[in-house]
Structure 1
């Protein structure tokens, strides 16, 4: 299988990463299969796909936040260090300091019985070894940095007392409080109205530039991906099916699933044209078709699609898992 070529600016590299879940008396089920990608310093890589494609599982594997019944095979290398070979305590410490995580549902991610002050101060003190006073000062500074005025007294609040937009800003402040180099934003605008979605995404983009952060943006929204990412990886049924510079993939997708996903985006539709949909459903992971996993839903399927597909080069920094790519093979 083709792999991204590491460069001097590569901060994170995944090579053939597979995530499996085990249940008593049942064979392990692969949730993500053979994911290979890289994230460079200062860039935003978007991972896009329908629900159940494996986007969030991949992100949780990177941040060492998987459930205890899940296991990871393959290589996850951060800044030259193989994370899966580190002792658990060392990996948690590195992830807590170097990798920030913005969860998609702040209402569920934040503890309902702890004040925002306590939830922010604890990890700052743990990872930075500072006093409670210094940690609170850092928390206040970060809240102000993400657009929360000091007079709002958010630190004394509980999650149910905050609006959706404020909750998400608190999540971003917590993710950045320990000075990470990589931030993973997992559907960061879920359940927010359109105006607040725009504010949150502009905030993340501004922080990425000002703090010189690398970012992984998990999304199903093509319009957000188009505006805020440099490169994109398209996932389907636990596999990456296409990667490349965002603008090139959106304008000239090579994999039929990528093209269908992009065409189904409301912002791509031209009135009064009916919004296209992708026929069928994402297959259950224990009932995957032979060969290409998208084959049963694909209008471009050919005989070769019944065989397993590898990621193939499709031009400069372009890969697609398809034997009949749109536009022809290169």
Structure 2
């Protein structure tokens, strides 16, 4: 049984222009101990999916789903209190805006200690000292060189990269079963990015923490993730094991992402124009009918005005009328 099973999740937003579907029939399966990557352009709905899983929707959201299960329990049937308790123990998230997610009126140390689980073996006069030392240990693990100074600082006194590291420490200190990382290495230098991904990999291997990583960097996700899901404009284009998806993409959008990755082995001319898909992602108020990639897709045909259903071939899932490699497709049996 999968740890997280989401089927046909749709999120509608109330806007001045009427209701728009920011996510449409998105499915996601995450097994225990798996690292799953969500890749897509900005505005593809990756963060909306993460917030829907955690149970922190916006005031203008309408969420519907055929199935939304967590370890055999129906998330859609849980109360707000039950969802908050679940988020405080079994689920955690590293938010994309770290400085905006921290309380500016409290020190970083006090917020970190509040997020950490209490030590039941410590005497009451030792609990504060023990929590402080443990918080410093987690800050050191995520790459903060002076944890004592950061502990006594406020969020507005720290850089964006330091706030991001503090958010990562708060998320992993509780040792959740599922960690959702929304652009976890944003605003960080390359050496620190590698350190953070190694830390997440250690959590996954040593403590069996399932991780859902959200990023637009396909090259990075391909290195660390077991499975990948490709989103475009609120729809799942393709999903499957990382190695198979990278080596043999079925969907034209996935192939375009791979073809347009920078090639560092060759010598490019100065200010050479990199290959891209024509056009740009549509606004939510002007979404095309059928497949949302249709106006930009190099393989688009008349049939693409009808939205393709999620099809599968072995352990690969994709939504395309004309997939590459001529694979035999069937409708998703688990929907």
- TM-score (normalised: structure 1): 0.88
Distance in 2 (CA, whole Å) between partners of 1:151 and 1:109 is: 19
Encode CA deviations 1:224-269: one digit per residue, 9 max, x unaligned: 1111100000001101110001111112111001111222222577
Instruction: Tell me the CA shift for residue 148 of structure 1.
Output: 4.1
- 3-state SS of the aligned residue for 2:285? coil
8 Å CA contact retained: 1:221, 1:265? no
Gaps of at least 5 residues in structure 1 are: 1-7
| Paired position in structure 2 for 1:232 | 228
Distance in 2 (alpha carbons) for counterparts of 1:99 and 1:266: 35
Deviates more, 1:143-152 or 1:170-179: 143-152
Deviation at 1:117, TM superposition (A): 1.6
* Structure-2 separation of matches of 1:136 and 1:69: 39
Q: Which residue of 1 aligns with 2:332?
A: none
1:257 paired residue number: 253
Structure 1 residues 80, 217: closer, same or farther in 2, change over 3 A? same
Deviation at 1:48, TM superposition (A): 0.5
* SS of structure 1 residue aligned to 2:179: strand
Q: Confirm or deny: 8 A CA contact 2:136 2:147 kept in the other structure.
A: no
Specify the alignment match of 2:44 in structure 1.
53
Distance in 2 (alpha carbons) for counterparts of 1:162 and 1:138? 20
Does residue 215 in structure 1 map to residue 196 in structure 2?
A: no
Query: Hey, what does 2:274 align to over in structure 1?
Result: 275
The residue matched to 2:151 in structure 1 has which SS? Answer: helix
Match of 1:19 among 7, 11, 16: 11
What is the deviation of 1:143? 2.7
The 3 A distance-change label for structure 1 pair 208 and 150 is: farther
**Normalization by structure 2: what TM-score?**
0.87
SS in 1 for 2:105: coil
Structure 1 residue ranges (4+ consecutive) displaced by more than 3 angstroms after TM superposition:
123-126, 134-138, 144-153, 160-166, 267-271
* Helix, strand or coil at the partner of 2:68: strand
2:107 corresponds to: 115
Per-residue CA deviations over 1:51-106 (Å, capped at 9, x if unaligned) read: 11111110111112222221211132111111121111111111121111011232
Would the alpha carbon gap of residues 208 and 164 (structure 1) be closer, same or farther in structure 2, given more than 3 Å must change?
farther
TM-align CA RMSD = 2.4
Look up the match of 1:88. 80
